[in-house]
Structure 1
Amino acid sequence: MPDLDADSILDRLGGLENRVGELEDVNAIRRLHWAYGYYIDFNLPDQVAELFAEDGVVVFLSGEYVGHAGVRRLYGDWIQQRFTGGRPGPVDGLLLDHFQMQDVITVAPDRQTAKGRFRGMLFGGWHDDFQDTREPGMPQQFMEARIYENDYVREDGVWKIRRLDYMMQWQSNYEDGWAHTTSHLQPATKTFPEDPVGPDRLLASREHRPTWPYRRDVPMHFAHPRFGNLLAASQTD
């Protein structure tokens, strides 16, 4: 090993310190997203909202829910009411398990912003003894898959979700399977307050997202590891 002067040693230590910091950031963001998954399992909208930045956004069914109020409206006024009648979970007879996996996380060079791609699976439904509590039109057992392409920001030293983009891939009744099912959830058409549980704004018409069996591309924020490297700065703009 060649002799190193003091400046070279300090440079190396600085590089190692930054690399360790990036790994800590990746773990913090992974933990943040996994925590989000557990909170939505049990319909806990207040806890979900606290994971978001003050100006955070959720993109869901062709609409954007903006700020903590928008996040609570989506996960509380709509989803919690839909599944548990406004009660926090777990609720007897209801399965609503969200599996979060296959994360690819890219932290910006300044370590203040990041992007993350996750795959999610949902298994939901009501037990025979409790199915009378489900909302009309909801299948008793269903499955759902989505891809997230999310933005994260460090707010007061803590990683928060800045934009959670929930892109449904397919949805099916369990008994029929995805080959024989059309999604029971459809894109939003009205905004809040005209729709009391609607988004604050709709996506542009070119970004309208029809649901299963129709598909949309979900562009990846990261470059192929062999055929090209994008600058992290451009990935997190």
Structure 2
Amino acid sequence: MSVAELADLRAELALLKAERDIQRLQTAYGYYVDKAQWDEAADLFARDATLEIAARGQFRGQDRIRAYLHALPPLEQGTVFNHMQLQPLVTVAPDGASARGRWRAIMEVGFVGREELCGEAVYENAYVVEDGVWKIARLHCFVTYYVRWNEGWSHGGVPMGTPLPGMIPDAPQTVAYGSFPDVFIPPYHYPNPVTGRVWTKENQA
């Protein structure tokens, strides 16, 4: 094996390791959120990270993200929170110190005697190596539909953008969009892997 071939193998191994570590990071986030373990989830974010969920605006910095998470409902008797994160596509930057990732989340949320919800969301996230480990640099959750089980899709979706009590965002949402019944395709961070074409609203046909 030549020196060049060995270098190529090392680069490929580093890429695969980065993808694996990022997938473990994002998967861990999902499990913590399901069990309302907000501090464990917040610890996964970089110090200057940003968070946007369900069109509620942008929250900046790990401390603000921690406060946002703690403002969410607690896990207690009669509640269910499930966020199944699927279809990961991770793109690591050439320098190996940053990356982007796209995920699909299937959501189930329930409160006994009050409400039962299901939905789907797409994450377009960014990741960075900080203090020697991968962390979430930007979490952007585009909720594409969110409906009440007992009503079904024919009644339309639950409106997005409902603020959390006492949590004023640090900035408006960076992408204006509507969830079901509106049609919105969250922007892809990557080009088509075959054609190389970058998807936009103008060329979506």
TM surpasses 0.5 = yes
Q: For 2:32 and 2:11, locate their aligned partners in 1 and report how far apart those are by CA, in whole Å.
A: 31
Larger Rg: 1
Q: For 1:16 and 1:200, locate their aligned partners in 2 and report how far apart those are by CA, in whole Å.
A: 44
* Corresponding position of 1:153: 128
In the TM superposition, residue 62 of structure 1 has moved relative to its aligned partner by 4.5
* Corresponding position of 1:63: 57
Q: 2:32 aligns with which of 15, 31, 39?
A: 39
Kindly indicate whether residue 136 of structure 2 is the aligned counterpart of residue 143 of structure 1: no
Q: CA 1:196/1:186 → structure 2, altered by over 3 Å: closer, same or farther?
A: same
Q: Which amino acid aligns with 1:53?
A: A
Q: What is the CA deviation profile of residues 104-146 of structure 1, one whole-angstrom value per residue up to 9, with x for unaligned ones? A: 000011100000000001111123xxx3xxxxxxx52110110
Q: Which amino acid aligns with 2:124?
A: E
Q: Which amino acid aligns with 1:63?
A: G
Matched-pair contact (CA < 8 Å) for 1:41–1:97: yes
* Corresponding position of 1:182: 157
Q: 1:121 aligns with which of 100, 103, 106?
A: 106
Q: For 2:25 and 2:61, locate their aligned partners in 1 and report how far apart those are by CA, in whole Å.
A: 17
* Corresponding position of 1:20: 13
Q: For 1:121 and 1:18, locate their aligned partners in 2 and report how far apart those are by CA, in whole Å.
A: 34
Q: What is the CA deviation profile of residues 47-73 of structure 1, one whole-angstrom value per residue up to 9, with x for unaligned ones? A: 111100000000121510111122112
What runs of 5+ residues in structure 2 fail to find an aligned partner?
199-205
In the TM superposition, residue 151 of structure 1 has moved relative to its aligned partner by 0.5
Q: For 2:97 and 2:147, locate their aligned partners in 1 and report how far apart those are by CA, in whole Å.
A: 38
In the TM superposition, residue 209 of structure 1 has moved relative to its aligned partner by 2.8
* Corresponding position of 2:186: 218
Q: What is the CA deviation profile of residues 86-112 of structure 1, one whole-angstrom value per residue up to 9, with x for unaligned ones? A: xxx4x2221111100000000011100
Q: Percent identity?
A: 30
* Corresponding position of 2:90: 105
Instruction: State the SS of the aligned residue for 2:185.
Output: coil
Q: Which structure features the higher share of helix residues?
A: 1
Matched-pair contact (CA < 8 Å) for 1:62–1:209: no
Q: For 1:48 and 1:143, locate their aligned partners in 2 and report how far apart those are by CA, in whole Å.
A: 22
Q: What is the CA deviation profile of residues 37-56 of structure 1, one whole-angstrom value per residue up to 9, with x for unaligned ones? A: 00110111111111000000
Q: 1:170 aligns with which of 122, 142, 145?
A: 145
Aligned pairs, number: 197
Tell me the TM-score normalized by structure 2: 0.88
In the TM superposition, residue 177 of structure 1 has moved relative to its aligned partner by 1.5
Matched-pair contact (CA < 8 Å) for 1:170–1:178: no
Tell me the TM-score normalized by structure 1: 0.77
What runs of 5+ residues in structure 1 fail to find an aligned partner?
132-138, 231-237
Matched-pair contact (CA < 8 Å) for 1:123–1:142: yes
Matched-pair contact (CA < 8 Å) for 1:58–1:66: yes
Q: For 1:44 and 1:71, locate their aligned partners in 2 and report how far apart those are by CA, in whole Å.
A: 13
Kindly indicate whether residue 42 of structure 2 is the aligned counterpart of residue 49 of structure 1: yes
Matched-pair contact (CA < 8 Å) for 2:144–2:178: no
In the TM superposition, residue 188 of structure 1 has moved relative to its aligned partner by 5.5
Q: For 1:221 and 1:208, locate their aligned partners in 2 and report how far apart those are by CA, in whole Å.
A: 17
Instruction: State the SS of the aligned residue for 1:163.
Output: strand
